[in-house]
Amino acid sequence: MNVTIDVKEKDGIFYVKLTGEIDAYTAPKVKERLMDLADGDGVTINIDLSGVKYMDSTGLGVFVGLFKQLSARSGNMKLTGMSERLQRLFDITGLADVMDINTEVEGGV
């Protein structure tokens, strides 16, 4: 399976829609694109995961790295549109306690 990454910018906020699977094969592509967007101070990125059918630990690592990079530079990240399965991954790992997660999709793409 592949992954598609759609990015739109509106009012200084990046809206990203990911579709497909985020695993060891596709995670490098996702990481590269998201880290490019996060390269600046005070960047805000809203990521719609409603089209993501599967994510493994490599995918989780992408979001941990992005969260750290944005936090270090006074930026923000919001994850939206998570399926129950993805939400459970973030809950089990404790990431849901530190990341801004909303099951509803917002604005943007």
Instruction: Provide the CATH number for the domain around residue 67.
Output: 3.30.750.24
For the chain, the domain total comes to 1
As a whole number of angstroms, the distance between CA 14 and CA 7 comes to 7
In a domain, residue 18? The reply is yes
What per-residue confidence (pLDDT) applies to 102?
Answer: 83
In a domain, residue 55? The reply is yes
Cβ neighbours of residue 53 closer than 8 Å, sequence gap 6 or more:
1, 20, 21, 83
In a domain, residue 20? The reply is yes
CA distances for 41 relative to 7, 9, 30, 61, 70, angstroms: 19, 16, 20, 21, 8
**Which residue from 66, 51, 60 is spatially nearest to 2, judged by alpha carbons?**
51
In a domain, residue 83? The reply is yes
Host domain of residue 7 = 3-102
What per-residue confidence (pLDDT) applies to 105?
Answer: 67
What per-residue confidence (pLDDT) applies to 108?
Answer: 52
What per-residue confidence (pLDDT) applies to 46?
Answer: 97
pLDDT of the chain along its 109 residues, tens only? Answer: 699 999 999 999 999 999 999 999 999 999 999 999 999 999 999 999 999 999 999 999 999 999 999 999 999 999 999 999 999 999 999 999 999 998 676 665 5
In a domain, residue 108? The reply is no
Contact 37, 7 (CB under 8 A): yes
